[in-house]
Amino acid sequence: MLICDYAFDQAGAFDGLPLIECIKRSHTELRILMLTMHDDPALVRKLFGIGVRGFLCKANATFSRLAAAVRTVAADQLYIDPEVALALSGAQLGFLSRQGEGRRATLTKREYEVVRLFARGMRVSEIARQVCRSVKTVSTQKASAMKKMAVRNDIELVVQFRGLEPGNQA
């Protein structure tokens, strides 16, 4: 795993995109987590497009978020800073709509609880321990919620869920 910044000079002018592209060409299996001060949605899309597996903005990088990001990327899953995901939801992803309230209502109480905890950065195994259910049960509830919410991956799930929460607080 490589934890890498996007800018490599004090002015932040050096574009790290060519470096990341070069690294991914030579080491296709390498999992990259970007830890940077930049939070531009277009940049985030580009980075995920070239194979970056995680993105965390330094301004939001608490120890627990950094640890969650590292665990997620190490497990070969995608991680995106929750605040950046919110920015992407409106600007690029377009998942949020008036249908949101209806989608929330279709989730069972347990599915809603699993997704809420997942959106807070907890892993499925951590959720299972907290709610006293098996990992398989929690995984099934998460998958069921994803199907009901018509999302294809964890990032879409978190983005859409955060858009459904009152005050965008998951």
Reference 159, options 71, 109, 72, 92; nearest CA is 92
Residue 9, CA atoms < 13 Å, CB-side half-sphere: 6
Looking at residue 92, its pLDDT comes to 40
Contact 23, 32 (CB under 8 A): yes
Round to the nearest angstrom and report the end-to-end CA distance of the chain.
Answer: 28
103's tokens = 């989608």
Confidence of residue 159 (pLDDT cuts 50, 70, 90): confident
**Domain covering 2-93 in this structure, CATH number:** 3.40.50.2300
- Rounded mean pLDDT, 136-151: 90
Domain boundaries, the chain: 2-93, 100-168
Hey, is 32 helix, strand or coil?
A: strand
Q: Above 50 in pLDDT, residue 167?
A: no
**What confidence category does residue 90 fall into, taking pLDDT thresholds of 50, 70 and 90?**
very low
* Alpha carbon distance 81, 87 (integer Å): 10
Q: Which uninterrupted H or E stretch holds 4?
A: strand 2-4
One of 1.10.10.10, 3.40.50.300, 3.40.50.720, 2.10.10.90 is the CATH number of 100-168, namely: 1.10.10.10
Q: Residues 95-122: pLDDT tens digits?
A: 333 333 334 446 788 888 898 889 888 8
**pLDDT at residue 139 greater than cutoff 90:** yes
Please, what is the average pLDDT of the chain? 79
Residue 82, SS3?
helix
Give the pLDDT score at 89: 52
Q: Are strands 2-4 and 32-36 parallel, antiparallel or unpaired?
A: parallel
CB atoms near residue 26 (< 10 Å): 8
Quick: pLDDT tens for 35-89. Answer: 998 888 778 878 887 888 899 999 888 898 899 899 989 988 888 887 777 666 5
Q: Report pTM.
A: 0.54
Cα 65 to Cα 108: distance, rounded to the nearest angstrom: 27
Neighbours of 63 (CB within 10 A): 7
7's tokens: 């800018």
